[in-house]
């Protein structure tokens, strides 16, 4: 635990990836590019992929992706840990094995009532469809967070990161508020992601998000999420203006300003802090090297956090984030490269 610098809290999912034919896409009613939540009709999909195809297992879920990338980018064993909920089933064992293989100290809450969350990744002619069954990811129990081993992790880390997705689960908001309070009081860094427009658009989720924001030191998001926040808040759609406005929202810990980081794909990344808006160009990747942009945002955050944990300034953190995202979009899925990072 002595090397621990970054702790993640989120919804762990086991990505089950397979190259499939058009026939299989049709069988499950999905099209290339789809990102959907599983309905009852999709529940047999995951077992069938394993039975019918050579599948690849990847430890997934937005926060866990960022933590895995941060571990790779840090280059130091034991830099990261992750908490979330899984089931006591074969997929849970596979998820734990995959995350541990990426060097993350996973401290899952394991329960037997609901199966491990999974995401079917159907790759077809270079494109893919995602079908996510959150399942156990929705079942986190704050009693796990309050337990001695997890509290030791929280007290032993410098930075905690969570995506916005746990705000939609029963135990997510109280756990996030407890994290924010603890980190603010101990002078540590709390980072969060807007994660999805629907979190901003659904009033109970937005209320939980705004309550959490009071404790957030670094807020991440993309241009779509930023524009949605601006629209709901009545600030218009200018991403820079929205970043500046969120940065100056009330903050529980007044000793340092909030930093808001909005990525915009290949367009410049915008960072707002202390009333100043900075713009950072994104190095372009040749089109023939681009394989899959899914996971780019998660990877950016992972790279940014790894640099932040080493005391880097904002330009260096953004550069580290861009580097990590650039590596991940050259492979299918959020797969950790086998080579060490070149920065």
Beta-carbon contacts of 203 under 8 Å, excluding residues fewer than 6 positions away, are none
Distance CA 162, CA 94 (A): 23
Which residues participate in catalysis according to the annotation? 298
What are 251's two structure tokens?
């903050």
Cα 107 from chain centroid?
17
- Per 3-state DSSP, the chain is made up of helix, strand and coil in percentages (nearest 5) of 45, 20, 35
CA distances (Å), 313 to each of 40, 217, 275, in order?
Answer: 47, 14, 17
Token pair for residue 303? 């790279």
Residue with tokens 């997929």: 91
Beta partners for 18?
122
Q: How far is the C-alpha of 132 from the C-alpha of 151, rounded, in Å?
A: 30
**Are 15 and 121 within 8 A, CB to CB?**
yes
Q: Is the dihedral of CA 45, 48, 53, 56 positive or negative?
A: positive
Separation of alpha carbons 228 and 231, rounded Å: 5
């Amino acid at each position: 635990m002595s090397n621990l610098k970054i702790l993640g809290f989120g919804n762990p999912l086991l990505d089950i990836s397979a190259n499939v034919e058009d026939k299989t896409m049709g069988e499950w009613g999905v099209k290339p590019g789809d990102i959907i939540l599983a309905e009852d009709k999709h529940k047999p999909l995951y077992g069938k992929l394993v039975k019918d195809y050579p599948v690849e297992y990847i430890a997934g879920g937005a926060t866990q992706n960022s933590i895995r990338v941060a571990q790779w980018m840090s280059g130091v064993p034991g830099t990261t840990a992750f908490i979330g909920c899984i089931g006591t089933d074969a997929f849970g064992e596979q998820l734990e094995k995959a995350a541990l293989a990426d060097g993350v100290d996973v401290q899952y809450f394991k329960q037997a009532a609901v199966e491990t969350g999974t995401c079917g990744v159907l790759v077809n002619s270079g494109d893919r469809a995602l079908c996510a069954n959150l399942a156990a990811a929705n079942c986190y129990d704050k009693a796990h967070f309050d337990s001695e081993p997890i509290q030791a992790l929280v007290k032993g880390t410098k930075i905690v990161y969570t995506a916005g997705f746990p705000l939609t689960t029963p135990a997510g908001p109280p756990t996030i508020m407890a994290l924010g309070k603890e980190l603010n009081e101990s002078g540590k860094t709390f980072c969060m992601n807007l994660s999805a427009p629907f979190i901003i658009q659904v009033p109970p989720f937005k209320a939980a998000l705004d309550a959490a924001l009071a404790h957030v030191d670094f807020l991440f998001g993309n241009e779509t999420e930023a524009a949605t926040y601006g629209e709901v808040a009545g600030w218009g759609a200018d991403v820079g203006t929205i970043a500046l406005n969120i940065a100056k929202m009330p903050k529980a810990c007044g000793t340092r300003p909030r930093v808001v980081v909005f990525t915009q794909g290949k367009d410049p990344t915008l960072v707002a802090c202390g009333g100043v808006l900075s713009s950072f160009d994104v190095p372009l990747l040749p089109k023939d090297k681009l394989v899959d942009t899914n996971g780019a945002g998660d990877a950016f955050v992972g790279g940014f956090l790894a640099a932040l944990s080493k005391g880097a300034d904002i330009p260096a953190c953004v550069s580290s984030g861009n580097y990590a995202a650039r590596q991940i979009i050259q492979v299918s899925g959020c797969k950790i490269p086998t080579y060490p990072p070149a920065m």
